[in-house]
A = this chain, B = another copy of it.
Amino acid sequence: MKLSTPTQLKDIASIINAEYVGEPDFPVSGINEIHMVEPGDITFVDHPKYYDKALSSKADIIIINKKVDCPKGKALIFSDDPFSDYMKLVKKFRPFEAASKPISNSAIIGEGTVVQPGAFIGNHVKIGKNCLIHANVSIYDHCEIGDNVIIHSGTVIGADAFYFQKRKDKTLKFESCGRVIIKDNVEIGACCTIDKGVSGDTVIDEYTKFDNHIQIGHDTYIGKRCLFASAVLVAGVTRIEDDVILWGQVVINKDLVIGKGAQILAISAVDKNMEGNKTYFGAPAIEVRQKWREMVAIKQLPDLIKKVKLLSKQMAERK
Contact = CB atoms under 8 A, between A and B. Distances in A.
List the 8 shortest-distance A-B pairs measured between CB atoms, nearest first: A120-B135, A138-B153, A156-B190, A162-B211, A193-B212, A159-B190, A297-B301, A153-B156
Interface stretch (A1-9, A16-24, A306-314): A306-314
Interface string A258-302: 000000001101000000000000010000000001100111111
A14 interface: no
A189 B251 contact: no
A132 to B, nearest CB: 7
Interface in A118-177: 118, 120, 122, 132, 134-136, 138, 140, 150, 152-156, 159-160, 162, 164, 166, 169-171, 173
Count class of interface residues, chain A: 35 or more
Contacts of A86: none
Interface stretch (A25-33, A38-46, A62-70, A95-103): A95-103
A208 B173 CA distance: 11
Nearest to A217: B230
Please indicate which of the listed interface residues A170, A171, A243 has the most CB atoms of chain B within 10 Å of its own CB: A171
A231 B231 contact: yes
A223 interface: no
Contact of A315 (B135, B173, B294, B311): B311
Given A134-B140, A249-B269, A267-B283, 11 more contacts: A118-B136, A152-B156, A162-B189, A169-B225, A170-B225, A171-B208, A249-B249, A253-B266, A298-B301, A307-B312, A314-B315
Contacts of A314: 315
Contacts of A301: 294, 297-298, 301
Contact of A102 (B117, B152, B249, B251): B117
Nearest to A134: B138
Contacts of A10: none
Contacts of A192: 191
Interface in A159-211: 159-160, 162, 164, 166, 169-171, 173, 185, 187, 189-193, 195, 206-209, 211
Contact of A132 (B96, B102, B185, B299): B96
A117 B120 contact: yes
A318 B318 CA distance: 10
A53 to B, nearest CB: 24
Contacts of A283: 267
A151 to B, nearest CB: 10
8 contacts: A134-B140, A156-B190, A159-B189, A170-B206, A171-B225, A301-B301, A304-B305, A311-B315
A238 interface: no
Given A173-B187, A185-B170, A253-B266, A213 B227 contact: no
